[in-house]
Structure 1
Amino acid sequence: MKLTYETISFNDIEILREPCNALMDFQKSKATITPERFDVMNFDTRLLPSIEKAVHNYIVVVKDEEKVVGYVYTNVSQKEVYVSDFATFFDLSSVKADLVGCLSQFYIDEGYRKYGIGSKLFRMSMEWLDQFKEVEDHFIFVSNGNDHALEFYQQKGFKVSHDILDGFITVLRK
């Protein structure tokens, strides 16, 4: 195993099409509450719109040789981005600043878990977010059934804030 970590730009985003779709499939497989919501979630409907709406984007890809085995997508966005027809992700009045940070997507291929990749990607994302002094609130949204992710983020200092969509998503905040 020869792992490399590479920050990519929007111009190279297409290499995440397959891993992003695999993430949506994984989340659907874990979901116990309305898994059918994931039927319309994919690279084109989740990752691309999020990148386009963000003020700042940070994408790190993990490769084993040339194969993409994981990635993390983190962004800084206007807090109003998190209000849509789909859901209101948090009470806007609870966020004083105009911008929020969000670890938005996190995926590691099953065969590559337990090697510290997740902790390294998480640390890189938090270090990137910390450079934005005007961003006071960091959020992570965990799909229902993904208990390992929930525990991972709690071990990293995030606290459960609330659930949305009748428990479909757990909102964590720091």
Structure 2
Amino acid sequence: MGMRRAATIGLILVAGVALAGCTGEPSGSATASPSESSSSMPTKTPDGAEADEALLPMPVEEIPEWAQKAVPGSDSPGYVFGFSGWMSENSTADDVTSFTSLKPGTYQAQFACRGEGTIELTVSELDEGSPSEPIACTNETIAFDVTNSRTGVRFELALEGAPTINAVSLVTVP
């Protein structure tokens, strides 16, 4: 692996799950710890966001429970980090979440989304250099490797289309 490729993403498994009513979510992301942060674009319109929320495949308060089952959660062996939420054009169509204390190494990531929209996930190191190829998720769960050569990792999500929920988690590779 060349020095220019700071974060390598290799798609190793694609498992389509067409059930919008599935449940599961990673844990630990409801409150950000000092080692993780999340930022997103400002809300466009509160009224539009409320209308978008009604179009989600489940109520917002059920997303954390769904995420624990959709991707490995905090009680899973090797769990390192995870987050979940929802995106829409009128709330947050772009989001960045960083795990600033992730030690260099190789991890398995799982990315789940449910809804009619498509969320593209790009992974990079904190300096945003050498990002992965975008991984497009449309009503499915995708597993892939994340390798970082420096401390920290950055997840950038971008939504196209209808309101959609998402969950991401990282586990150590045995």
- Structure 2-normalised TM-score? 0.33
Higher helix share: 1
